[in-house]
Every structure is written in C-alpha cells, then in structure tokens.
C-alpha cells in the first residue's frame, strides 16, 4: 500500500463532534509519551503531520488525519480512510478531574465510534509488562473493541530485551485471554513495523 495523501483534518473534544463516520477509521492509543504521534508520522512519512513532544501529555484531543492510499504507487484504486491520534493515558501530572474527563472521552470514542475498525495499542518495548497497559488491554476486551499491539521504540533497546518484553506481555495476557491479538514491533526512527501496520490496515480496508 502506498499513501498518496495524508493531511490533518480536525481535533475534537468528544466523539459527537468527530467528522462524519463515512470511511474506515484506525486509532492509535497508549501511555503518554509512548510514541503515538511519532508512529503516525512514520507511517505517513511526514514528520510534521502529528505534533510530537519530549514531554508527556502533548496530545489532548481526538485528532483526525485524512489519508488517501493506493495499492501501488501511480495506481488508481484509491481508498480514503482516517487515522486518529488519541491522548495518552497514565500521565501522572494531571488532576483527578482531568483524568476522569479523559477516561470518559476515550470510553465514549472507543465504544461509540461506528466506523472504528481497529485500535492500535502502543506499548513501550523497553519495559517489562506494565499493569496500566494490561488493564487497558483488558478494558478493550470487555468493550469488545478489536485491537493490535504495537511495541514501540525498539531502536532504543537491544533486540533480545525487546523480544523478552513482548513475550512476557503476551504471556501476561494469557491469564485472561484465550486468543492473543496480532502484534508488531516498531521504531519510528528506523521505520520498523511500517509495512506490517500498513498491511493490516490495507487488508481491513478491503472488507
Ligand atoms: P503524547 O501525545 O504526549 O501522549 O505522546 P505520544 O505517545 O504521541 O509520543 P510522541 O510521538 O510525542 O513521542 C514521545 C517522545 O518519544 C518524542 O521525544 C519522540 O521523538 C520519541 N519517540 C517516539 N517514537 C520513537 C521511536 O520509535 N524511537 C525513538 N528512539 N524515540 C521515539
Ligand atoms: Mg501525541
């Protein structure tokens, strides 16, 4: 799949204000600072598309990006879809009230957005399984929202550690999950995981 157009569309404070659900949509979520915006930029090969930051909590609204893709470069079989950059969870420096507001916004978005096809949950590949990520994964399971796991920042740790962290996370999921979701190891710097993620989206767009 080749992305022929990627443009920022709009930021919305709640699901009801999001653009009309007239095409497939794919959302990126995960802990604050895990690399959601960087991954979106890497996928679209545009470093200026989604705002990234060294300090957590940069993304605070539901951000829609309009994507047009073709099967092969120069092809004419266009598909239009949305990528969505969501604010991260687990940001320590916010008040209870803000956190609840975030939770409500995310829950509403994930449960009500009718064109949402797949959620990519980003997990920092440098760390051992974190309770907060496992809880979020289980929450999505309860809401029956389909998701794929993306283990980010793989360039920052040696491959053996990354592989162990991935394995341990999947093993921890086995306690509650009978079937494990697809997973991808990624690096925004090295462009790792790009083909795999775009391949997943491309397949789902066909359905
Ligand atoms: P919030 O919107 O604040 O929740 O953060 P985010 O998840 O969108 O993270 P963002 O993409 O802003 O990246 C956070 C920091 O991690 C930035 O300094 C990025 O440059 C860095 N980063 C993101 N992905 C990678 C990666 O794959 N490798 C490396 N080395 N750094 C990365
Ligand atoms: Mg962000």
Q: Which pLDDT tens digit goes with each residue over 130-177?
A: 999 999 999 999 999 999 999 999 999 999 999 999 999 999 999 999
| 37 CB near ligand 1 (under 6 Å) | yes
Q: Which atom of ligand 1 is nearest to the CA of 188?
A: 27
Q: Is the CB–ligand 1 distance for residue 126 below 6 Å?
A: no
pLDDT digits (tens, 9 = 90+) for 68-84: 999 888 888 899 999 99
Q: Please give the C-alpha separations between residue 51 and each of 38, 74, 93, 121, 205, in angstroms, as whole numbers.
A: 8, 29, 20, 18, 26
Query: What's the chain's average pLDDT?
Result: 93
**What is the number of the ligand closest to the CA of 56?**
1
Name the residue of 53, 92, 105 whose CB sits within 8 Å of the most ligand 1 atoms, as the mutation to test its pocket: 53
Q: Tell me if 113 CB under 6 Å of ligand 1.
A: no
Q: What average pLDDT score do residues 179-194 get?
A: 97
Q: What is the CA radius of gyration of the chain?
A: 16
Residue from 27, 28, 33, 48 whose mutation best tests the ligand 1 pocket (most atoms within 8 A of CB):
33
Q: Residue 53: CB within 6 Å of ligand 1?
A: yes
Q: Are 141 and 177 in contact (CB under 8 A)?
A: yes
What does pTM read for this prediction? Answer: 0.96
Pick from 43, 49, 40, 31: which is nearest to 106 by CA?
31
Q: Which of 3.40.190.80, 3.30.499.10, 3.40.50.300, 3.90.1150.10 is the CATH number of 2-206?
A: 3.40.50.300
Neighbouring-strand partners of residue 150: 122, 184
């Amino acid at each position: 799949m080749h992305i022929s157009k990627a443009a920022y569309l709009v930021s919305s404070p709640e699901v009801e204000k999001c653009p009309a659900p007239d095409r497939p949509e794919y959302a990126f979520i995960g802990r604050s600072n895990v690399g959601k915006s960087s991954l979106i930029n890497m996928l679209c090969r545009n470093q200026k598309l989604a705002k990234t930051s060294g300090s957590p909590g940069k993304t605070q609204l539901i951000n829609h990006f309009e994507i047009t893709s073709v099967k092969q470069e120069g092809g004419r079989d266009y598909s239009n879809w949305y990528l969505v950059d969501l604010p991260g969870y687990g940001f320590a420096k916010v008040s209870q009230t803000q956190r609840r507001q975030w939770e409500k916004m995310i829950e509403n978005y994930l449960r009500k957005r009718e064109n949402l096809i797949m959620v990519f949950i980003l997990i920092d590949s440098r760390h051992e399984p974190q309770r907060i990520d496992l809880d979020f994964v289980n929450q999505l399971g309860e809401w029956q929202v389909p998701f794929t796991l993306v283990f980010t920042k793989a360039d920052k740790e040696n491959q053996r550690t990354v592989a162990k962290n991935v394995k341990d996370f999947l093993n921890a999921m086995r306690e509650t999950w009978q079937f494990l979701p697809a997973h991808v190891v990624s690096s925004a710097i090295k462009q790792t995981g790009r083909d795999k993620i775009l391949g997943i989206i491309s397949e789902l767009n066909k359905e």
